Amino acid sequence: MNNFLVDTKKLVYRWIKYRLVRPEPPPSPFRFTGPAVVVGSAPVSHCPAGMDDSFSVITVNGSQSITSQWGIEVPDITMMMFNQIEGTTHNAREVRRVLSGRRTRALFVLLWRKNERERLERGLASFNYRYDHLYIVDRYERMALLDKVAGLRSLEIDAESKCSNGVNAVLFALYHGAPAVIITGINPNSSGHAYNDAGLSRLHVRMDTIILRRLLEAGRPIYTADPEVARETGIPLWNAALTETLPAKAAPATDI
């Protein structure tokens, strides 16, 4: 009963605040003028066919360890959950380990307190992770991203009502005009992470599946570079020839 009352209070508070604040999705320092590749941390991933300098790369948490194997040392954007900075879980420690000494062009830290930016900067410096731009994304900006791109409103009461950081990255790229979004290392049906052997289960399977299906039904240009994911989910498999069907080929993400 107590949990029900707490959840109800949260729901009412967040709904009222969302309606009053009318937040916008997080901004981007770049224009997406070519395909965006969103790289998750599932154990299996593939570099998209035909990938070249016109593609932009978005990594999630520790998946920069994957793109470095493709020869991409500095992704355009990295999305990182707040608990990766100071967390003591095995996964958080592994994320810091694989990101130690690396850099990204733009870092988005989700759900960190906006009034604790200096603490965030110290935390990132503790494992020597560098960036050109640093953004803190609060809950309501994340809710707005889902609302404006997928037409869904989630008050994020529990894990089942939230989407993964990888799907948030997909929504972000679509919102900011990417002509195509190619996912790899993102499989709602998988468990574990490419950068550790803990085999941790995924918490957002249901919501990720709902959102991806909704985006596909709306005709959004979403593809996967992973054949197994294409077979299991119905997401079209990316191939190099698809590049020719997109708007005029241009430079990768460029500063605004």
Rounded mean pLDDT of the chain? 88
For residue range 157-198, list pLDDT tens digits in order: 666 768 899 999 999 999 999 999 999 999 877 654 444 455
For residue range 53-90, list pLDDT tens digits in order: 999 999 999 999 999 999 999 999 999 999 999 999 99
The H-or-E segment that residue 184 falls in is strand 181-184
Lowest model confidence (mean pLDDT) among 13-17, 156-160, 196-200:
196-200
- Over residues 141-150, mean pLDDT: 94
Strand 56-60, strand 77-81: pairing: parallel
Q: What is this structure's pTM? A: 0.88
Six token digits for residue 129: 């992770």
SS3 201: coil
Q: What pLDDT does 188 receive?
A: 78
Query: What percentage of the chain exceeds 70 in pLDDT?
Result: 86
- Over residues 231-246, mean pLDDT: 91
- Over residues 11-40, mean pLDDT: 92
pLDDT higher than 70, residue 252: no
CA distance 154 to 92: 26
Q: What pLDDT does 19 receive?
A: 87
Helices assigned H by DSSP within 58-106: 64-67, 83-86, 90-99
Q: What pLDDT does 72 receive?
A: 96
Q: How confident is the model at residue 9 (pLDDT cuts 50, 70, 90)?
A: confident
- Taking CA atoms, 190 is separated from 55, 85, 93, 115, 160, in Å, by 26, 24, 21, 36, 16
Q: Where are the domains of the chain?
A: 39-46+55-238
DSSP letter assigned to residue 186: -
Q: What pLDDT does 193 receive?
A: 46
Q: What pLDDT does 196 receive?
A: 47
Query: What percentage of the chain exceeds 90 in pLDDT?
Result: 69
Q: How confident is the model at residue 18 (pLDDT cuts 50, 70, 90)?
A: confident
The H-or-E segment that residue 39 falls in is strand 36-39
Q: Which fold is adopted by the domain 39-46+55-238?
A: sialyltransferase cstii, chain A (3.90.1480)
Q: How many CB atoms lie within 10 A of CB 3?
A: 7
